[in-house]
Amino acid sequence: MEQLKEKYEKFKAWQIKPHEVVKLSAEKHVCATCGTEFHGNYCPRCGQKAAIGRYSFKSAFLLFLDVWGLGNRGMFRTIRDLLLRPGYMIRDYLNGMQMAYFPPFKMFFLLIALSVLVESGLNVKFENTINKTKKESVQGLNDINTNTQINETDANKIVTDTFDIIGKPIIVQTAQNKHNKVININGESIETKILKKLENIVNWIIDNQTLVSFLWLITLSLPLYLFFHKNPNIPDLRYSECFVAMVYITNMMTIISTAGSFFLPGKSTAIELLSYILSIVPMKQLFGFSYKRTIAKLIGAFVLLTIAGITLIVMIVCLGIYLLHLL
Ligand SMILES: [Zn+2]
């Protein structure tokens, strides 16, 4: 038990300060490219690495990764730190340790691309879960649609004859419900039209995950900044810093959920949920509030966002109804 505690204390110390950079050696190098004599790891004139050996598998592999911009700047260290000490890593990055970590936005786009790849078949079951999600959501919308269409059948019967003559939207009363329904020229009700639009929107969201995630991040960062900008660790947090932190936290969540959809394709909802819960950890480590306050603030931010979202939807619906009445 004591040993376990000691190990945990050691781990905690490592989380806060994981590595000391080794001092430069006094060894002199001659640049293999330009011939400049220098101390250190890189030639100050042309950037050539001091340590050059024969090509190894490792250096070849790094060069291969470099094609996608992955070979440099500690991709693996960033993934490890995002999983083991995310909040402290973000603090270090914001404090200027930029060369040690993979840049946040580049990582964001690469990870989303990877997650799409995994969801579209690169997983242990070779299962395309994107198509499945699409089919299911479209099916769900169709179910709603058929329900409303049954109600409209009678209404359509009454108006079929008058359509050709008038050729303009007509207001009819259905037998089942006394609501006024606007039927347009094609015999499609407004509901059907709205559902079709919704179907398009759902498909667009599934097809444009990167853009949607990015827009979602921008939206979410506003209430989060409001709740976290005055914090014990970074008293004068800027919005841009908050946004970078959020991008890294999203990267952490994408790593976890992508691992989930790789090993459990189609059944990764629980892991995705877990990644949301785990996002509390970096918030706590970075801003220094207690877990209780961090959770309270997160809930506050989401409630604010929900209220804002509902207000926006109500406004759009009201505007829509107003425009319909003008027609
Ligand atoms: Zn050189």
Instruction: Give 153-179 pLDDT, tens digit per residue.
Output: 555 554 444 444 445 544 444 444 444
- What element of type H or E holds 15? helix 2-16
DSSP state of 180: E
Name the more confident of 70 and 271: 271
Q: How confident is the model at residue 152 (pLDDT cuts 50, 70, 90)?
A: low
| Residue 3, token pair as written in the block | 């040993």
Give the CA distances from residue 144 to residues 147, 193, 196, 254, in Å, rounded to whole numbers and listed in that order: 5, 12, 11, 32
* Beta bridge partner(s), residue 180: 173
Query: How close is the Cα of 63 to the center of ligand 1, in Å?
Result: 19
3-class DSSP string for 28-60: EEECCCCCCEEECCECCCCCCECCCCCCCHHHH
CA distance 134 to 132: 5
Residue by residue, DSSP assigns 228-295 as HSS-SS-TT--HHHHHHHHHHHHHHHHHHHHHHHHHSTT--HHHHHHHHHHTHHHHHHHH---HHHHH
Name the more confident of 190 and 233: 233
In a domain, 30, yes or no: no
Residue 181 has pLDDT above 80, yes or no: no
Q: How confident is the model at residue 187 (pLDDT cuts 50, 70, 90)?
A: low
In a domain, 8, yes or no: no
- The per-residue pLDDT for 175 is 43
Contact at 8 Å (CB) between 86 and 252?
yes
In a domain, 24, yes or no: no
DSSP state of 25: P
Query: How close is the Cα of 62 to the center of ligand 1, in Å?
Result: 21
Q: How confident is the model at residue 145 (pLDDT cuts 50, 70, 90)?
A: low
Residue 51 has pLDDT above 90, yes or no: no
Query: How close is the Cα of 38 to the center of ligand 1, in Å?
Result: 9
> What is the number of domains present in the chain?
1
State the average pLDDT over residues 102-114. 91
| Residue 152, token pair as written in the block | 């409209």
In a domain, 257, yes or no: yes
In a domain, 326, yes or no: yes
| Residue among 96, 58, 97 at smallest CA distance from 77 | 97
Query: How close is the Cα of 21 to the center of ligand 1, in Å?
Result: 23
In a domain, 55, yes or no: no
Distance linking the first and last C-alpha atoms of the chain: 76
- The per-residue pLDDT for 149 is 60
What domain range is 291 assigned to? 78-146+190-327
In a domain, 32, yes or no: no
Share of the chain above pLDDT 70, in %: 84
Convert the pLDDT of each residue in 276-306 to its tens digit. 999 999 999 999 999 999 999 999 999 999 9
Share of the chain above pLDDT 90, in %: 41
Name the more confident of 174 and 187: 187
| Residue 11, token pair as written in the block | 């781990």
Query: How close is the Cα of 105 to the center of ligand 1, in Å?
Result: 31
State the average pLDDT over residues 20-49. 86
The rounded mean pLDDT for the chain is: 83
Residue 254: count of CB within 10 angstroms of its CB: 20
Long-range contacts, 276-281 (Cβ 8 Å, 24+):
278/252, 278/253, 279/249, 279/252, 279/253, 281/86, 281/87
In a domain, 231, yes or no: yes
- The per-residue pLDDT for 273 is 92
Query: How close is the Cα of 48 to the center of ligand 1, in Å?
Result: 5
